[in-house]
């Protein structure tokens, strides 16, 4: 009983003094060894032997049981360590140390990981338009680590842009949008390359598109959308195209023959006045952020192969009624752009 009281006292005292557990167990082991030594060295009729149990075999059994319990606990802890998931290995290849930390949340995602992040770094994405849709798409593409980002726009930053084109700051008024976008993206992520093209989509559209792996169209007029779609089909490039007006936005991925092209779904431009531009009909300020971010999400998924993309589906977001609809769309065999006879 005396030894047991001393053992408890040693443990409590060690806990109060914040002594490491290993030292506390060591002190108790020394106490046990002392009790065994007393029984082995003192005569049978010694008072000290009688006060601590009077038999060395009893203390030997206590020691064996304690050793078995400690061994069981250590083995169980080892098994738990082996069963715990290993931290993801950092991506190999041309990643700077700062990039590994920057993209760590992507690398943790099972669907992306280090290999997917490497594909993002190697990807080349062209964004058409640095306006409402292009702004959030560009920001998130750069933040996600897309290695090369091209941006084409012939406009300059105006006061009316600033409520929704979040890539541009007030001090960029009068500056070409592509230059303003480049400065913001370089400040956001110095590890990406931004290539600005200050011009309208024109005769060299197809040759420019051929230089990129994926095209994002955030233009605000039907003529440009048809021009870009035709060039993407001719170059065999996947196209993520989005549009919005007032409270509603839509987005899909077009990549024949795996899915329809834009002209399959919208073979003709709407009559004048049926689909007015934002400058005429107005647009909710955060709406381009929602749809533009969706464009970046679909781009990351397409590049990394994560999840299910929007090929063959048109997603429509109604901000006013807080509704999201997905419509299945199919190729048009008679499409003049991607059809059999085209």
Structure tokens given for 83: 């069963």
Structure tokens given for 239: 């196209």
Q: Are 314 and 246 in contact (CB under 8 A)?
A: no
CA distance 309 to 299: 9
Render each residue's pLDDT in the chain as its tens digit; 342 residues: 565 555 555 545 555 555 566 656 666 667 666 666 655 666 666 665 566 665 666 656 666 666 777 777 777 666 665 554 444 444 445 788 889 999 999 999 999 999 999 999 999 999 999 999 999 999 999 999 999 999 999 999 999 999 999 999 999 999 999 999 999 999 999 999 999 999 988 877 778 999 999 999 999 899 999 999 999 999 999 999 999 989 999 999 999 999 999 999 999 887 766 666 666 678 999 999 999 999 999 999 999 999 999 999 999 999 999 999 999 999 999 999 998 655
> 21-41 vs 2-16: helix axis angle to the nearest 10?
160
Structure tokens given for 37: 């030594």
Q: How confident is the model at residue 97, as a pLDDT?
A: 82
Q: How confident is the model at residue 81, as a pLDDT?
A: 53
Q: Are 222 and 237 in contact (CB under 8 A)?
A: no
Domains and CATH numbers, the chain: 2-83 (no CATH), 98-328 (3.40.50.720)
Q: Can you spell out the DSSP letters for 117-175? A: HHHHHH-EEEEE-SSTTHHHHHHHHHHHT-SEEEEE---B--GGGTTT-TT--GGGTTS
Q: How confident is the model at residue 296, as a pLDDT?
A: 98
Q: How many residues does the chain have?
A: 342
Three-class SS state of 14 = helix
- CA 97 vs CA 110, 119, 193, 214, 229: distances in Å: 21, 17, 17, 27, 39
Q: How confident is the model at residue 87, as a pLDDT?
A: 46
Q: How confident is the model at residue 278, as a pLDDT?
A: 67
pTM value is 0.72
Ramachandran quadrant class, 307 (left: phi over 0; alpha: psi -120 to 50; beta: rest):
left
Q: How confident is the model at residue 252, as a pLDDT?
A: 97
Q: How confident is the model at residue 84, as a pLDDT?
A: 45
Q: How confident is the model at residue 90, as a pLDDT?
A: 47
Closest CA to 334 of 237, 244, 248, 260: 260
């Amino acid at each position: 009983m005396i030894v047991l009281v001393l053992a408890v006292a040693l443990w409590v005292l060690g806990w109060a003094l914040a002594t490491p557990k290993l030292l506390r167990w060591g002190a108790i082991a020394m106490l046990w060894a002392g009790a065994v030594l007393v029984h082995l060295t003192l005569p049978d009729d010694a008072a000290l032997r009688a006060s601590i149990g009077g038999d060395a075999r009893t203390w030997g059994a206590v020691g064996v049981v304690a050793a078995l319990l400690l061994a069981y606990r250590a083995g169980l802890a080892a098994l738990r360590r082996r069963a715990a998931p290993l931290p993801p290995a950092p991506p190999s290849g041309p990643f700077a140390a700062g990039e590994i930390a920057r993209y760590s949340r992507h690398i943790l995602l099972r669907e992306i990981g280090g290999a997917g992040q490497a594909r993002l770094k190697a990807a080349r994405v062209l964004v058409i338009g640095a306006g409402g849709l292009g702004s959030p798409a560009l920001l998130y593409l750069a933040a996600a680590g897309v290695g090369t980002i091209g941006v084409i726009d012939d406009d300059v930053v105006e006061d009316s842009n600033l409520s929704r084109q979040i890539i541009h700051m007030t001090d960029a008024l009068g500056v070409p949008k592509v230059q303003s976008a480049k400065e913001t993206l370089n400040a956001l992520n110095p590890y990406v390359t931004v290539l600005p093209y200050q011009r309208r989509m024109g005769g060299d559209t197809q040759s420019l598109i051929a230089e990129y792996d994926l095209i994002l169209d955030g233009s605000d007029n039907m003529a440009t959308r048809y021009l870009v779609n035709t060039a993407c089909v001719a170059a065999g490039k996947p196209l993520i195209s989005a549009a919005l007006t007032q409270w509603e936005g839509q987005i899909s991925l077009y990549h024949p023959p795996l899915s329809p092209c834009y002209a399959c779904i919208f073979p003709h431009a709407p009559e004048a006045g049926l689909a007015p531009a934002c400058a005429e009909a107005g647009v909710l300020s955060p709406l381009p952020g929602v749809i533009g971010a969706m464009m970046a999400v679909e781009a990351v998924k397409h590049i990394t192969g994560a999840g299910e993309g929007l090929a063959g589906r048109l997603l429509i977001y109604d901000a006013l009624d807080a509704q999201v609809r997905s419509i299945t769309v199919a190729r048009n065999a008679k499409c003049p752009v991607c059809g059999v006879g085209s």
